[in-house]
């Protein structure tokens, strides 16, 4: 059967495209959500520039040959283009299961070179990384928090960024390079359109969330800052409750049927938190109003979870501050948890 090899090759090409399309449906969607939790913008920009250099390699090589500064700045991007010009991408499943192949891609020279294209650092990118970390430390941590609290958060963020690059970006970028190398514009276009739809759907879902997503670093800092100076934290939370209660008397429409408080009332509470908490930390707090007969209670809380009590403080109609969970109605923490989902 002389036509069998050709038929098998076509079938393999169809299955390969189907696998890539399935990946491009899910990976960009997940990237949007991961990006809301962790700062991966730097990695995305660096890889995006590298991919752009792949398409414009000849023009960039010409610029680099005429300018030492351009050659220095474009060194990483030109290495990206040169590598894939000499070494076409491997089969798609190799990149899908790439994290499981460790330490192969550190031990083998060619695989290590490809890994460094995605997670290596040029002098410029390393300086920018250090500068942003130093700025982030002084902007968000002192005086309540110091380097012992900073390093685990920074390290965790770096590990997640690395995992995102290996799990999501490598299969996507190498797919684009693969179809560009094969001169298959329709298949490449199908992947890019699929990715665009996936990203758009994720963005719409995030924008329509009733409660904004809070980043990993912000969650950690709220918890650490609250426990580092509990008296100051409670004073800030008390001020926020009193500010919210004052506005609540005029803005009844800011309370939902399930007790979730939004609008001007929530903004007043978050503004009152800022002298102690950083702005992103203050914006992570929520308000919940509960009524039992004629009595009302306003609860300020952060990061309520199904199996863990939140950081919280409450105030009643008489202005008394409450931090005794027994005075909350049954199921209060579960209700607060559901409001944040």
Tens digits of per-residue pLDDT, 196-246? 888 888 888 888 877 778 888 898 999 899 989 999 999 999 999 999 888
pLDDT digits (tens, 9 = 90+) for 95-125: 999 888 888 888 888 888 888 877 765 555 6
User: What are the structure tokens assigned to 301, written together?
Assistant: 């809380």
**CB under 8 A, 24+ apart: contacts of 258-263:** 258/335, 258/339, 259/288, 259/289, 259/290, 259/335, 259/339, 260/210, 260/286, 260/287, 260/288, 260/339, 261/286, 261/287, 261/288, 261/289, 261/298
* Contact (Cβ atoms closer than 8 angstroms) between residue 211 and residue 252: no
User: What are the structure tokens assigned to 80, written together?
Assistant: 């990206």
User: What are the structure tokens assigned to 236, written together?
Assistant: 């800030």
Mean pLDDT throughout 124-152?
84
For residue 196, what is the enclosing H or E element?
helix 185-207
Cα dihedral sign, 64-70-72-78: negative
Listing DSSP states for 177-189 in one string gives: HHHHHTT-HHHHH
DSSP 8-state symbol, 255: B
> Is cis: bond before 143, omega within 30 of 0?
yes
Tokens 């209660």 locate to 245
Whether the pLDDT of residue 76 is over 70: the answer is no
This prediction has a pTM of 0.79
> What percentage of the chain reaches a pLDDT higher than 90?
14
Q: Given phi > 0 = left and psi -120 to 50 = alpha, else beta, which region is 293? A: left
DSSP 8-state symbol, 99: G
Whether the pLDDT of residue 278 is over 90: the answer is yes
Q: Dihedral (C-alpha) 231, 248, 281, 41: value to the nearest 10 degrees?
A: 180
Please return the burial class of 276, using the count of CB atoms within 10 Å of its CB with bins 0-12, 13-18 and 19+. buried
User: What are the structure tokens assigned to 103, written together?
Assistant: 């330490």
E strands within 215-274? 260-261
> What is the rounded end-to-end Cα distance, in angstroms, of the chain?
58
CA atoms of 109 and 89, how far apart (whole Å): 15
């Amino acid at each position: 059967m002389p036509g069998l090899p050709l038929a098998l090759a076509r079938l393999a090409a169809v299955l390969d495209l189907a696998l890539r399309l399935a990946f491009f449906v899910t990976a960009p969607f997940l990237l949007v959500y991961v990006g809301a939790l962790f700062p991966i913008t730097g990695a995305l920009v660096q890889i995006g520039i590298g991919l752009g250099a792949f398409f414009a390699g000849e023009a960039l090589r010409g610029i680099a040959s005429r300018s030492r500064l351009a050659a220095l700045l474009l060194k990483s991007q030109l290495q990206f283009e040169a590598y894939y010009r000499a070494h076409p991408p491997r089969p798609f499943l190799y990149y899908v299961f790439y994290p499981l192949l460790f330490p192969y891609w550190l031990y083998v020279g060619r695989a290590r070179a490809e890994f460094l294209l995605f997670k290596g650092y040029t002098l410029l990118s390393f300086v920018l990384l250090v500068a942003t970390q130093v700025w982030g430390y002084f902007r968000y941590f002192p005086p309540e928090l110091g380097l012992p609290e900073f390093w685990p958060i920074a390290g965790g963020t770096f590990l997640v960024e690395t995992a995102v690059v290996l799990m999501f970006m490598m299969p996507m970028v190498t797919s684009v390079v693969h179809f560009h190398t094969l001169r298959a514009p329709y298949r490449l276009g199908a992947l890019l359109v699929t990715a665009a739809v996936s990203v758009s759907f994720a963005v719409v879902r995030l924008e329509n969330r009733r409660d904004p997503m809070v980043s990993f670093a912000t969650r950690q800092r709220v918890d650490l800052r609250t426990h580092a100076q509990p008296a100051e934290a409670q004073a800030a939370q008390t001020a926020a409750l009193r500010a919210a209660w004052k506005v609540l008397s005029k803005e009844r429409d800011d309370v939902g049927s399930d007790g979730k408080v939004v609008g001007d009332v929530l903004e007043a509470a978050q503004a009152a938190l800022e002298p102690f908490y950083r702005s992103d930390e203050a914006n992570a707090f929520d308000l919940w109003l509960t009524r039992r007969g004629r009595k009302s209670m306003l609860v300020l809380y952060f990061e309520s979870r199904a199996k863990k009590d939140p950081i919280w403080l409450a105030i009643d109609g008489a202005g008394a501050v409450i931090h005794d969970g027994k005075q909350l109605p049954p199921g209060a923490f579960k209700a607060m948890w559901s409001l944040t989902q």
